[in-house]
Chain A
Amino acid sequence: MPNSRKPVFLIAVLLTLLTVSPAFTGEPDPQEFTQIEHGRYLATAADCISCHTIPGSKPFAGGRAIETPFGNIISANLTPDLDTGIGAWSDEAFDAAVRKGIGRHGGFLYPAMPYTAYAKLSRDDVLAIRAYLGSIEPVRNNVPPTSLPFPFNIRSGMRLWNALYFDRSEFKHDPSKSAEWNRGAYLVDGPAHCGACHTAKTFLGGDKTDQYLQGSYLQGWYAPNITNDKRLGLGNWTVEDIDAYLKTGHNRITAATGPMAEAVSLSTSHMTNKDTKAIATYLKSLPGKTESVAPLPKNSATMVAGGAIYRDQCSACHGLDGRGVANLFPAIADASGARSNDPTTSIRIVLRGARSVATAREPTSPGMPSYSWQLDDTQVADVLNYIRNSWGGAASPVEAKDVSHVRSDTAARGD
């Protein structure tokens, strides 16, 4: 019974390989795996599949709505389908879309497609991604066009936007830094496009370059500071902590949830150990911007109430000392993300709960329950003030109105 299936499977694979015919002009030799594999790896590092797949449907078939402050943007079908995918695109058109933000017919793309980051890739990188996408199953899926409200529907406005915010230069190797650092910088700024979530945006959606990777609000979450900032960023994380987080979604301090859970699940957990290490090395080299904040006084009403709530509701898992259990219950005493100036994510997790990511190396996927029905806005603010200002930590106060805002903002959102 078990032995009979494997040969059949192998034969099926061989037949598939032998009978695949070029679906569009310019497709590389289907026997040439090196370029396809290079492209597959880059597409994984770039997490293309995340935005370009409706969860649960055919991979890369597009149609997923990407929320932006300007309205939803619908992702394109990246499969090699001739009519509805990119099968009929020229290499030139594909490269222009990925690295220049120019659509197939010359129109401008919105930067929800992070061409601003992908500009760091080389043309060879981009063509490798195209070779990989040419090897996947074509799916006929006519994606509806994006229609943003006025004035954002005037795509030519992107010409001005690009002039303001788009640095078209390819990644430049810095000879004064190690090869590992350079690889990390390339991945972070290029394919992995970390800044898309972790760098704050101007009112027009361009990067605030002086706040590079220092955290940003998006889609009902606050993506935390990932510079080496001690209080707010990764200053207390070792390279190994960052590496473990990217590879497994969990480490001794915290766990990936929300959009980062998806990024770990689909992208970073599939990177090579060398690359996750390189990213860690690069992030640890970013100084961030350390502001000192005084902790709330221990005897203030909010800290006293928060401490009592913490003891009753939180300490069973996270421990009275805030140290939790490594890789199971986050050590919120050390989790700098809990002390972000923008407390959106912390509030959201207390209100709605959160499920951590499951990966091959950390399959447990522990979850945090929702407290929205049990704690009112003031109580949530109190317990967060306690968490943010205990065990040597300090952070700006959370107020009931902040909680109320997140409660209503997340009411209609999925998990």
Chain B
Amino acid sequence: MPRRLPKKDVVIIGFGWTGAIMANELTDEGLDVIAIERGPWRDAPTDFPPTYMQDELRYRVRHELFLRPDQLTFTFRNMMSQTALPIRSWGAFMPPNGVGGGGTHWNAEMWRFLPSDFVLRTHLTERYGASFLPADMTIQDWGITYDELEPHYDRFEYLCGTSGQAGNLKGKILEGGNPFEGPRSRPYPTPPQAQPFSHTLFGKAAQELGYKPFPQPSGNLSQAYTNPLGLRLGPCTYCGFCEWFGCSNYSKASPQTTLIPYLIRKANFTARDNSEVIRINLDRSGTRATGVTFVDTSGEEWEQQADLVILSAFALFNVQLLLHSGIGKPYDPVANTGVVGRNYTHQTISTVNGFFDNRKFNFNPFIGSGSIGMCIDEFNGDNFDHGPHGFVGGGYMGQVQTGGRPIESTLVPPGTPKWGADWKKAVKDNYLSTVKPGTGVHGSFYSYRDVYLDLDPTYTDRFGRPLMRITMDLKENEIKQNKFLTDKFAEIIKAMGAEKLAVQYRKGPYDITTYQTTHVNGGAVMGTDPNTSALNRYLQSWDVPNLFVLGATAFPQNPGYNPTLTVGALAYWAAAAIRGKYLKNPGRLVDA
């Protein structure tokens, strides 16, 4: 029998962005809240000091901030006909671990989704007809509109101090911003980050080709900022160590810099680190969560009861915990029934590296930030007519080179030997004069009937539970989309003056071993119909109304943007529903 702890009003599983946002909102409501985090405590000045944080070997190569696969991993296969095998070294995405979660190591790219992204199936069907969509594509509307989410986007942007240039202020299109974005109620809290040479060169080339380039919205701040909670952020120093790293200069918006120091002063908040929740417990009816069971580092089991359970771990772990807890009907792609595991997606990423004449171009690539970049949005979502092209979806593209970290920035032109003196010479010749947009083409990844998550029949974790199995492949639609976008992107890199291009299309089969982004989504999506969504529009479980599931888990499909701003906005949206509706009358907020 697990040891039982005193009951709380709210238990939060996972203490990253969404857990910290929800904890702050619900403690403001006067509730007694505990957050339980699997990984260690991580605090900005003590864990990310500028004296050693810029250690590429430790953090990038050896994955210091991430979960170890021997703690917990997944099995993977491309197709239902295959046998899945365990992932023993992270590749395609990086599961975070510890306080701050993905918000610790992210690049801080702060995009809003397009208004049409939230009503995707309706929008595409109206414009192109239902037969334009592939038969096995399971995209759907979110059950929420951009206008409903706008105040929450705004709130998260101001929490973070986001640096950017508005493109659409209350319907008025502004020069220098993204003209395709939905209307925003306020300008960004701080001006855009400064752009280094190669980024401005991309902007110039894009403009000459008729596009409307703009600086990428950034959670690495252009100037000092004090957020609404009174927490202070410093100006980014453009050190170029953001993704894979914590920020050592208080410049990157993260739970540690924007929420936690404020939250931990509250008497009605408690956090437990190094404690892994293994199950959400239900009462006999199976329709009410009674709390959670977690295991500490000595292997001892504890039970934390609570009236309200917030599941706010990383997207994949949310789905896994639902499956292990028997909450919601598991998805069956053959019968096309069930919802937990359904509509799992990632991101369709590619790039084009440009090699320039080193006598004329010195890009000083080590000047960077995780969300620096000049971008265009002409080919995202449904910002262009897909009719002639035979695919749906799109993405933003841009020169978003985030730094020149030495181990991973040894790019050489096509045809160079892979090792030896010639390789070394080529690295030296090209280091300063190569344009290397990491995620140059940042494309959407739509959902399909046979791309999903379920429990593996063979492999188990250290607690003896089945591992979760990922079945995922790249479909024709995404491959076509990526080819189209990558070619457009290559034209701009060429127009910048590159002598040689290395064009790297994203091709099938989906590759679990190479990094693409950590934007894995879906598996317990939000929606209007309990037959095709695990959560209602307030991220409340249809089956267990005192459970809310936060994070990209809820995305029915993934648009062509980075997910975090929408993840944070949805957390505020769900918190508002809990505070404004649920607490007054605990129960289902939407009738099934």
Contacts and interface: CB of A to CB of B under 8 A. Distances in A.
Main secondary structure of the interface of A (DSSP, over half): loop
B30 A325 contact: no
B261 A1 contact: no
B30 A366 contact: no
Contacts of B30: 2, 5-6
B116 interface: no
A365 B237 contact: no
Interface in B1-51: 9, 29-32, 44-46, 49-51
Contacts of B502: none
A179 interface: no
Given A325-B224, A358-B265, A363-B230, A368 B45 contact: yes
B51 A374 contact: yes
A157 B83 CA distance: 86
A369 B45 contact: yes
A352 interface: no
A6 to B, nearest CB: 8
Contact of A1 (B46, B234, B250, B307): B307
Chain B interface size band reads 20 to 34
Interface string B205-232: 0000000000000000000101001111
Contact of A325 (B45, B50, B230, B234): B234
Interface stretch (A11-19, A326-334, A384-392): A326-334
A325 B235 contact: yes
A361 B249 contact: no
Interface in B305-323: 307-308
Nearest to A315: B237
B262 interface: yes
A355 B44 CA distance: 11
Interface in A351-388: 353, 355, 358, 360-371, 373-374
Contacts of A326: 224
B72 interface: no
Interface in A284-323: 313, 316-317
A1 B583 contact: yes
B586 A316 contact: no
B295 interface: no
A369 B237 CA distance: 17
B45 A363 contact: no
A365 B9 CA distance: 29
Contact of B51 (A358, A363, A365, A370): A370
Given A326-B224, A328-B232, A362-B230, A371 B31 contact: no
Given A5-B30, A325-B234, A360 B265 contact: yes
Given A1-B307, A2-B583, A316-B249, A363 B261 contact: yes
A317 B29 CA distance: 36
Contact of B229 (A1, A325, A363): A363
A264 to B, nearest CB: 14
Contact of B45 (A1, A360, A367): A367
Contacts of A316: 50, 237, 239, 248-249
B458 to A, nearest CB: 43
Most B CB within 10 A of own CB, among A316, A355, A367, A368: A316
Nearest to B227: A364
Nearest to B53: A369
Given A366-B250, A369-B49, A328 B262 contact: no
Nearest to A319: B235
B586 A328 contact: no
Interface string B238-254: 01000000001110000
Nearest to B46: A367
A367 B239 CA distance: 19
A1 B224 contact: no
B29 A2 contact: yes
Contacts of A6: 30
A366 B232 CA distance: 9
Given A363-B231, A364-B232, A358 B224 contact: no
Contacts of B262: 363
Interface string A3-25: 00110000000000000000000
B31 A2 contact: yes
A369 B9 contact: no
B380 to A, nearest CB: 35
A358 B265 CA distance: 9
Nearest to A371: B51
Contacts of B586: 1
Given A1-B586, A316-B237, A325-B232, A369 B31 contact: no
A1 B585 CA distance: 10
Most B CB within 10 A of own CB, among A6, A327, A364: A364
A105 to B, nearest CB: 40
B356 to A, nearest CB: 29
A284 to B, nearest CB: 26
A128 B140 CA distance: 69
A329 B234 contact: yes
Nearest to A372: B51
A27 to B, nearest CB: 29
Contact of A363 (B9, B32, B265): B265
Nearest to A2: B30
Nearest to B261: A363
A193 B153 CA distance: 50
Most B CB within 10 A of own CB, among A1, A313, A329, A365: A1
Interface string B553-577: 0000000000000000000000000
Interface string A337-360: 000000000000000010100101
A367 B50 CA distance: 11
A371 B50 CA distance: 10
B49 A353 contact: yes
Contacts of A329: 234
A358 B234 CA distance: 17
B29 A369 contact: no
A192 B224 CA distance: 34
Contacts of A2: 9, 29-31, 583
Most A CB within 10 A of own CB, among B45, B249, B261: B45
A17 to B, nearest CB: 20
Contacts of A355: 45-46
B170 to A, nearest CB: 32
Contacts of B32: 5
A115 to B, nearest CB: 34
8 contacts: A316-B239, A325-B232, A355-B45, A360-B265, A364-B230, A364-B257, A366-B232, A369-B248
The 3 tightest CB contacts between A and B, nearest first, are: A367-B45, A369-B49, A328-B232
Interface of B: 9, 29-32, 44-46, 49-51, 224, 226, 229-235, 237, 239, 248-250, 257, 261-262, 265, 307-308, 583, 586
Given A327-B226, A366-B45, A371-B51, 13 more contacts: A1-B31, A1-B308, A5-B32, A316-B239, A325-B232, A327-B232, A329-B234, A363-B231, A363-B262, A365-B261, A366-B232, A367-B44, A367-B45
